[in-house]
Amino acid sequence: MGKEEKKNPKVFQTHCPICNSLLWIDPVTQEVIKHEQVKKKKSSLDELLLEEKERKDKFDRKFEATAELEKEKLRKAEEKFKKALHKIGDDEADKKD
């Protein structure tokens, strides 16, 4: 424990999700007393390749899902258009009679 931590035993430690560091915070003043950067684990080439493959696969799945949604929207729009044309044709036939 450092000097600051001995002065106030209620100092607490937390993990910063943004910078991945450890922070010691004084609950009274709400100030960061100590900041310690956590060392990143070095990844192997195999791990990096696997992560890149997973990222690419995820992107491909999202792309395919988006393409399917667009196809479905187009199909529905064509259906509505055909119904509208059919309705216009029926209305004109009724007017002629």
pLDDT in tens, 72-92: 999 999 999 999 998 888 877
Question: For the chain, what is the domain count?
Answer: 2
Whether residue 96 has pLDDT greater than 80: no
Q: Specify whether 94 is located in the same domain as 54.
A: yes
Q: Specify whether 48 is located in the same domain as 90.
A: yes
Q: Specify whether 24 is located in the same domain as 67.
A: no
Q: What is the pLDDT of residue 7?
A: 56
Q: Specify whether 25 is located in the same domain as 69.
A: no
Indicate the helix (H) or strand (E) that contains 57.
helix 45-96
The whole-chain average pLDDT of the chain stands at 85
Q: Specify whether 97 is located in the same domain as 50.
A: yes
Residue 11 domain boundaries = 3-37
Q: Which two tokens stand for residue 51?
A: 């992560």
Whether residue 55 has pLDDT greater than 60: yes
In sequence order, what are the beta bridge partners of 36?
22
Whether residue 44 has pLDDT greater than 60: yes
Q: What is the pLDDT of residue 52?
A: 96
Model confidence pLDDT, tens digit, residues 5-28: 455 568 888 888 888 888 888 888
Q: Specify whether 46 is located in the same domain as 70.
A: yes
Q: What is the dihedral of CA 43, 46, 52, 55, to 10 degrees?
A: -90
Q: Specify whether 46 is located in the same domain as 75.
A: yes
Q: Specify whether 30 is located in the same domain as 47.
A: no
Task: Place 1 in a pLDDT band, splitting at 50, 70 and 90.
Answer: very low
In sequence order, what are the beta bridge partners of 24?
13, 34
Q: Specify whether 97 is located in the same domain as 71.
A: yes
